[in-house]
Amino acid sequence: MAVVYLDPASGVSGDMVLGALIDCGADVAAVNEALGALGVGNLWVETQEVRTGGFRSLRLDVQTDGRRVFRHLPDIEQILAAAPLADRVRERSLAVFRAIAEAEAKVHGVSVDEIHFHEVGAFDSLADIVGTAVALESLAVETLYGGPCAVGTGEIECEHGRLPVPAPATAELLAGWPVRVLNIEGELTTPTGAALLTKLARPGPGVARFRMKKVGCASGHRSYNGFVTLFRAFLGESLAATSSDEMVEVCAAIDDATPEQLGALFEFLPASGAVDVTITPVVMKKNRPGHELRALASPERAEEVARAVFLHSTTFGVRMIPVSRRTLDRRLVPIQTEFGQAQVKEGLLDGAVVTASPEYEDCLTIARARGVSIGRVMRAVMAGYEKAAHR
């Protein structure tokens, strides 16, 4: 499984991300073919090798023979929906565009549809975002990590006048991400760069473990009084046969909660970001019967989960325990039965199916609609799956 670690130690912009991936070996012809298929006129990227501060890097330029266009988010969504793009390219591109749209809407205090996205609608942002998604697909990248992101200081001139650095939308996009504030006057990180980093990658220090194969290096178009702005992408392959990530287990021992309060935790904790919740009967101090609560969350959501535990239980304290998790790769397979269609979740190890089970929510929905037991539906789904698997 291909892995990429993005290093924004001196900032990040959209052209730097795409340039670094191309320097890692991404197919620039595939990028330009996809950009040409967007239906917005001739749009392509070119790269040149340059030396910045004595170091070799690629510099990417967006080329177009059309005029600069100012679009709304629905226009972008329509362009991406109509273009002949791979599903994951479209999904990744939409995720980044929507993130920028939501950030802009929040800082301006309006709805997403009310904003003219001069940043998003411009040809360079289309090229950077869609091009990055195509480059990742070209390299068969499944997982992305990212390091702490550098931001500068001072002010920038933009459509809305003079704004502080980082720009409001950039700051919003970086919320929850590790940030380094450098004493450099200038926009080291742009909204597009911040969105690509935070929407496609996960914070990597202490998490990213892979065998490195290539390093791609890109430089931006601005210089800051001798400060070298280099963006690097480290391409490698996963060391584990299973997917690996670092999690936090939020634990609490509770001896004074009602059954209703304990039951409610299974609703509130997943809503706060917990990916798994268990409650186990235990014997506590002074021989009191109680319950051990364990909620699993990603590092960036662990504080929200802990807060939910405090709000919705009677505990006075929680334990935050870093844990490593290994998971099988997963794939959903639709199965048609006499009761309707449901999905079977397959677990894959080294590309081979080692376990499979019917999706509970699908089976429950069918059972309610058809007035039959969920067990009968689940048996029918697995019978259909076994029959399809042995054709």
Reported as a single tens digit per residue, the pLDDT across 339-378 is 999 999 999 887 788 999 999 999 999 999 999 999 999 9
- Return the CATH architecture of domain 243-327: 2-Layer Sandwich (3.30)
- Return the structure tokens found at 360: 């509970």
CB 216 within 8 A of CB 60: no
Give domain 329-389's CATH number out of 2.30.140.10, 3.10.20.300, 3.30.930.10, 3.10.180.10: 3.10.20.300
Low-confidence ranges of the chain (pLDDT < 50): 119-121, 390-391
Residue ranges matching CATH 3.30.70.1380 in the chain: 243-327
Assessment of whether the complete model's pTM goes beyond 0.75: no
Other CB atoms within 10 A of residue 326 CB: 10
| Cα separation, 231 vs 18, whole angstroms | 10
Cα of 131 vs its chain's centroid, Å: 17
Q: What pLDDT sits at residue 205?
A: 58
pLDDT for residue 391: 44
Q: What is the largest CA-CA distance in the chain?
A: 78
pLDDT given for residue 66 in this prediction: 63
Q: Hey, which bits of 255-318 come out as E strands?
A: 276-283, 289-297
Query: pLDDT at position 89, please?
Result: 96
Which residue ranges does the chain devote to CATH 3.10.20.300? 329-389
